[in-house]
Amino acid sequence: MQKPPVNSLNLDLLVALRDTLVKLEKEKCKGMILTSESPSVFSAGLDIMEMYRPDHNRARKFWTTLQDTWIKLYSSPYPTVAAINGHSPAGGCLLALSCEYRVMVGPKFTIGLNETQLGIVAPFWFQDCMRNAIGERQAELALTLGKMFSVDEALKVGLIDEIAKDKADAISKAEDFLDEQSGLPALARSTVKVAFREATLNRLLKNREADTKMFLDFISMPKVQQALEMYMQTLKKK
Ligand SMILES: CCCCCC/C=C\CC(=O)SCCNC(=O)CCNC(=O)[C@H](O)C(C)(C)COP(=O)(O)OP(=O)(O)OC[C@H]1O[C@@H](n2cnc3c(N)ncnc32)[C@H](O)[C@@H]1OP(=O)(O)O
């Protein structure tokens, strides 16, 4: 990802990500490493400006493109690794959680689904991804608090798989993971992957329109708009 300054996921970046994932699958990609050009941010999550005083049609397109991107990434037949070389809140954490393996550069960055702290709610499929990684109990604690984990905490709870000392080390560890997968029969590998992920995927696939409506209704609420405005101001003041 290379959308300065913080790889916030706006419609354009999501379209680019989705199209890349579609292309990789068509070209029978052997493995993918998702990382960031920024030296300190993997992705700042959804672009708040896409949710603040939105145009209804654009907001719908934004959300359905996010769904498409997630479905493509989460169900990709090829192996995927997130080399998390910076902060990774909310939608950034979702991208990392959707890969099969996570290597994060330590020690100073943070990762987590912090939506509750912003006065918004992580959708059920964000929650499912966290639950699948760290288990029911830890996911409930993390999601209700909107907890951002330090790298050490993330490793301890199973949110990441390995710590790296810098980006090059993260990429090298990610390549080791891909090398390990490359010797396996691809169809058997991808069938097992999809079997593990099927229930989570189907939950969204069967409820896409309801999920979209929930998003559009939620961001139309004055209280939510107020919370987003205050949050944007806090970020700008900073
Ligand atoms: C029923 C459904 C309901 C809705 C479901 C919504 C689901 C998911 C929600 C999200 O993903 S919301 C986004 C959550 N993200 C965050 O809380 C992260 C916010 N950003 C930060 O904490 C920091 O920016 C950072 C990522 C730690 C990086 O810090 P750094 O000091 O390097 O950079 P900043 O100076 O803070 O930021 C630079 C520049 O970028 C703007 N910006 C930051 N994050 C976002 C964002 N998510 N969207 C839009 N813009 C963002 C920030 O305001 C700065 O702008 P300028 O001041 O330079 O204009």
Dist. CA 220–CA 238, nearest whole Å: 26
Residue of 9, 14, 21, 46 marked catalytic: 46
Residue 158: strand, helix, or coil: coil
14 is catalytic: no
Average pLDDT over residues 199-222: 97
Average pLDDT over residues 152-171: 98
Closest protein CA for atom 12 of ligand 1: 46
One-letter amino acid of 7 = N
**Predicted local confidence at residue 233, as pLDDT:** 92
All domains of the chain in start order, with CATH:
11-237 (3.90.226.10)
Residue of 91, 92, 106, 112 marked catalytic: 91
Q: How confident is the model at residue 143 (pLDDT cuts 50, 70, 90)?
A: very high
- CA 156 to centroid of ligand 1, rounded, Å: 26
Closest protein CA for atom 22 of ligand 1: 44
91 is catalytic: yes
Dist. CA 236–CA 196, nearest whole Å: 41
Asked whether the predicted pLDDT for residue 237 surpasses 90, the reply is: no
For the segment 94-105, what is each residue's pLDDT rounded down to a tens digit? 999 999 999 999
Helix (H) or strand (E) holding 159: none
For the segment 163-204, what is each residue's pLDDT rounded down to a tens digit? 999 999 999 999 999 999 999 999 999 999 999 999 999 999
Closest protein CA for atom 56 of ligand 1: 236
The region of weakest confidence among 28-37, 75-84, 224-233 is 224-233
Q: Parallel, antiparallel, or unpaired: how do β-strands 110-112 and 149-150 relate?
A: antiparallel
Atom of ligand 1 nearest to the CA of 118: 17
Q: Global pTM?
A: 0.97
Q: How confident is the model at residue 144 (pLDDT cuts 50, 70, 90)?
A: very high
Structure tokens belonging to residue 126: 């964000």
Look up the ipTM and state it: 0.98
